[in-house]
Amino acid sequence: MFPTAHPDIMGQLADERAAGLRAAADRHRFGRPFLARWRPARVIEPAADLSRVVPAAPHVGADRAA
């Protein structure tokens, strides 16, 4: 008598909970702005600091070869 007298309450609650979670996920997914999504970072190479470059020294072996 028990299974036929009472409807499937737990199954109905589980279906309602799953539908609520799906709706909340859709609201969260579509409610976020496009800029909040992941995108690759812009890579900007800094300009070379030529003031720190040491002038090249003449090669030691160059004067012996001549």
Encode pLDDT of 24-61 as tens digits: 998 888 776 666 667 788 888 888 777 777 777 777 66
* CA distance readout (Å), 10 to 4, 7, 13, 16, 17: 14, 9, 5, 10, 10
Q: How far apart are CA 22 and CA 30, in angstroms?
A: 12
- Structure pTM? 0.39
Say yes or no to pLDDT of 11 above 80. yes
Length of the chain: 66
